[in-house]
């Protein structure tokens, strides 16, 4: 028996991760790092950061891109620049940073449920969550597909709320043919190493609002408007030059990364076809997606194995599948203690969070690897009863 618990192809020798970094041309990156060292300008709105901001803004087709040290700080800064306070409605099915960026500044995240098909915030439940303290809505474009931007915009404008988006997944994606990054008051991208386009660590806010962009630029640099003049409470949200050098290098390869992801996704679609109880989340053809997430929903009744059991099978085979975003923000601290009943209002989140697993993709994964991963899943499901007994044993 190999390391894993399945017969058939042996376990992978090296671990396969979800979110392994995509890296563009190494020589180009190193040459930029040399330029940076020659210049001795390592951070503080350096030439690479400025160039990256110009290029990202052009790519997204937006007036302003404000680069930041990461998306979490970018969310915090956008939230503060928009003067959100009191309560802000967000989906419970998202990465914890969406909630924390509010809670960190004493704003209450109010968890709304999601749509079962898109996994994005359900606009139909928002109205009932608005209170006199509500000041805004943050939509999240889960898996890079736009949430229902139009419905959210309608509610926000009628109820006089601010609207922004956590677009951490959605770089290079469109909504109704227009690049994401142009919606609401502002949108926030993550360029973290695990995202398909990375600047090592990094993020950006994009907006078409000149005043807001200017304010965020000051806020990311402690609120300094000149050498000796501070005009806002600010923080240190600056992107450094090495990060921007990585960003410029990877931006040159971004379309290639999407192509690889798309190709991988097609291989998964073929490989997973006909495995009982597994369904691959598919992206609407009408829009462009970056295909950075291979999302599989497990129907335990049909598959004979739960999502958690399948994930342990894969881990034993060195395929590090992930349970994003389990168990949902409302079930993590401090929200779990603060709002112990939030789960009653988020039944779809509960269900989706229990069923979904993400499989490895990106430039380091090829067709053969995907075939083997799918074969492992096929074997596991076809021998569900044995596998269940063996995973129990391993856990005991
Ligand atoms: C990755 C991610 C973030 C945080 O991004 P960082 O750049 O790591 O701070 C925020 N929201 C969502 C939905 C994410 O997936």
pLDDT tens, per residue, the chain with 396 residues: 344 667 677 889 999 999 999 999 999 999 999 999 999 999 999 999 999 999 999 999 999 999 999 999 999 999 999 999 999 999 999 999 999 999 999 999 999 999 999 999 999 999 999 999 999 999 999 999 999 999 999 999 999 999 999 999 999 999 999 999 999 999 999 999 999 999 999 999 999 999 999 999 999 999 999 999 999 999 999 999 999 999 999 999 999 999 999 999 999 999 999 999 999 999 999 999 999 999 999 999 999 999 999 999 999 999 999 999 999 999 999 999 999 999 999 999 999 999 999 999 999 999 999 999 999 999 999 999 999 988 777 665
Distance CA 305, CA 384 (A): 6
Q: What is the DSSP string of 152-208?
A: HHHHHHHTT-EEEEE-TT-TT-EETTEETTSSSSEEEEE--TTSSS--SS-EEEEES
- Ligand 1 centroid – CA 167 distance (Å): 9
Given a contact cutoff of 8 angstroms between Cβ atoms, the answer to whether 294 and 328 are in contact is no
pLDDT at position 4, please? 60
Ligand 1 pocket mutation pick from 69, 71, 93 by most atoms within 8 angstroms of CB: 71
pLDDT at position 55, please? 98
Burial of 51 (0-12, 13-18, 19+ CB in 10 A): middle
Give, using CA atoms, the residue closest to atom 2 of ligand 1: 168
- Ligand 1 centroid – CA 72 distance (Å): 6
Position in ligand 1 atom list of the atom nearest CA 192: 7
pLDDT at position 394, please? 66
- Ligand 1 centroid – CA 220 distance (Å): 17
Position in ligand 1 atom list of the atom nearest CA 190: 7
pLDDT at position 391, please? 79
Given a contact cutoff of 8 angstroms between Cβ atoms, the answer to whether 12 and 314 are in contact is no
Given a contact cutoff of 8 angstroms between Cβ atoms, the answer to whether 99 and 90 are in contact is yes
Position in ligand 1 atom list of the atom nearest CA 72: 9
Write out pLDDT tens, residues 290-338. Answer: 999 999 999 999 999 999 999 999 999 999 999 999 999 999 999 999 9
- Ligand 1 centroid – CA 274 distance (Å): 33
pLDDT at position 1, please? 34
- Ligand 1 centroid – CA 18 distance (Å): 15
pLDDT at position 322, please? 98
CA angle 211, 213, 216 (to 5 degrees): 110
pLDDT at position 9, please? 73
Measured between alpha carbons, how far is residue 341 from residues 69, 170, 344 in Å? 35, 31, 6
pLDDT at position 5, please? 63
All structural domains of the chain:
10-19+254-395 (3.90.1150.10), 26-251 (3.40.640.10)
**Any residues with Cβ below 6 Å from ligand 1, and which?**
70-72, 94-95, 97-98, 140, 166, 168-169, 190, 192, 203
Position in ligand 1 atom list of the atom nearest CA 203: 7
pLDDT at position 396, please? 57
- Ligand 1 centroid – CA 391 distance (Å): 32
Q: pTM of the predicted model, to two decimals?
A: 0.96
């Amino acid at each position: 028996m190999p390391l894993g618990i399945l017969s058939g192809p042996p376990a992978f020798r090296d671990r396969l991760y979800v979110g392994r970094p995509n890296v563009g041309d190494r020589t180009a990156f190193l040459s930029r790092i040399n330029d940076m060292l020659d210049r001795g300008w390592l951070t503080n709105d350096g030439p690479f950061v400025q160039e990256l901001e110009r290029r990202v803004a052009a790519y997204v087709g937006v007036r302003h891109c404000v680069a930041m040290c990461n998306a979490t700080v970018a969310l915090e800064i956008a939230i503060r620049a928009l003067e959100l306070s009191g309560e802000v409605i967000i989906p419970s099915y998202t990465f914890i940073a969406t909630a924390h960026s509010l809670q960190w500044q004493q704003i209450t995240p109010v968890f709304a449920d999601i749509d079962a098909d898109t996994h994005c915030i359900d606009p139909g439940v928002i109205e009932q969550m608005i209170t006199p303290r509500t000041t805004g809505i943050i939509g999240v474009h889960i898996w890079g597909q736009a949430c229902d931007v139009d419905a959210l915009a309608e509610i926000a404008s009628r109820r006089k709320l601010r609207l922004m988006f956590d677009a951490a997944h959605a770089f290079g994606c469109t909504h109704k043919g227009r690049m994401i990054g142009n919606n609401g008051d502002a949108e926030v991208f993550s360029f973290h190493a695990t995202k398909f386009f990375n600047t090592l660590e990094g993020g950006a806010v994009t907006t078409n609002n000149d005043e807001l962009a200017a304010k965020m630029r000051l806020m990311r640099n402690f609120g300094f408007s000149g050498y000796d003049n501070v005009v806002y409470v600010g923080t240190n949200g600056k992107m450094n030059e090495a990060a921007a050098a990585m960003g410029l290098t990877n931006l040159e390869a971004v379309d290639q990364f999407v192509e690889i992801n798309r190709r991988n996704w097609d291989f998964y679609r073929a490989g997973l076809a006909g495995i009982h109880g597994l369904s691959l989340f598919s992206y609407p053809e009408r829009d462009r997606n970056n295909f950075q997430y291979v999302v599989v929903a497990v129907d335990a009744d049909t598959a004979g194995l739960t999502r958690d059991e399948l994930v342990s099978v894969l881990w034993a085979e060195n395929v590090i599948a992930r349970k994003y975003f389990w168990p949902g923000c409302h079930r993590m601290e401090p929200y779990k203690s603060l709002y112990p009943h939030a789960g009653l209002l988020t039944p779809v989140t509960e269900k989706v969070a229990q069923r979904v697993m993400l499989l490895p993709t990106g430039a380091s994964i090829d067709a053969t690897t995907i075939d083997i991963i799918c074969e492992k899943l096929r074997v596991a499901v076809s021998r569900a009863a044995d596998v269940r007994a063996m995973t129990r044993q391993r856990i005991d």
